[in-house]
Amino acid sequence: MKNLFLICFSLLFIQSSFAQNTMQEGQLTFEVVDVDLPESDDPNMKMMAGALKGTKLKISFDQDMFRMSMNMMGGMMKMGNIYSDSDASKNYMLFETFGKRIKVHMDEETMQTQEDMKKEAMGNNDFELSEDFKDTKEIEGYKCHKVTLTSKSNPDLKMSAYVTKEINLERSIIETFDSTLYGGVPLEFTMGDKNMGAQMKMLAKKINTSVPKDAFDIADNYEEMTMEEFQEMMGEMSKMGGF
């Protein structure tokens, strides 16, 4: 199941490039609508797939701030990131499970740690884009067409998505949603590979063109940790079967 959690964590990495215009603030809400695992008689595998199905990812952003919040396993686990373009002291990773609420400041070293995790989960993004304008569908009122990304270094590694060119995001919020990589804004996408451990499909369920003023606030009851302390805590929880 490690690969599946790495896929989830890979959604939390920023992409600092910018597109040209239009949507300067808003909220995009996605939901995991399908989790496909290799066939197995292990009941834990089936239970995990069922728990991950329904996972929600909410992305909130304006011209300075953005926040990604992922609600997993029916609310048993929540994680996310908050970033500011103008004030690095506001950059945090957030984690919540079993009554614990943790925040980790995203300093340069921590960012590099996450970058290493991303590479382990997603490779180096050496993908080639192909577009199929005949394969279309409408998602949340936006016309989308299918695209496929194929790794140049590993042709068996592919990602597919349905993207729209009717939305232009001012910021490429995260690499997974980078409109340059996909040729548009993906409103449905499939990540991972069943044969490599797990495959997960996410679908846009709600798109708002405004964002609440409190969308980037962090509650006072978060305990602050370093990345080393957080990793140690996660290791202990894993030993006890809590993760």
Q: What is the pLDDT of residues 30-54, one digit of tens each?
A: 999 988 877 766 777 667 677 778 8
Pair of tokens at residue 234: 């996660």
User: Does residue 211 carry a pLDDT above 70?
Assistant: yes
pLDDT for the residue numbered 33: 92
Pair of tokens at residue 2: 């490690």
Task: Tell whether pTM > 0.75.
Answer: yes
Number of other CB atoms surrounding residue 141 within 10 Å: 8
**Domain-by-domain residue ranges, the chain?**
2-239
* DSSP strand pairing (100-105 vs 223-225): parallel
From residue 45, how far is each of 65, 76, 208 by CA, in Å? 37, 17, 35
- Amino acid at position 96, single letter: E
Q: What is the pLDDT of residues 104-162, one digit of tens each?
A: 998 877 777 766 766 665 555 577 889 999 999 999 999 999 999 888 877 777 788 99
Spatial neighbors of 174 by CB under 8 A, at least 6 apart, are 11, 12, 13, 14, 15, 59, 68
Predicted confidence band of residue 224 (pLDDT cuts 50, 70, 90): very high
Fold of the domain spanning 2-239 = outer membrane lipoprotein receptor (LolB), chain A (2.50.20)
Q: What is the pLDDT of residues 169-188, one digit of tens each?
A: 655 544 445 556 677 888 99
User: How far apart are the C-alpha atoms of 82 and 94, rounded to whole Å?
Assistant: 8
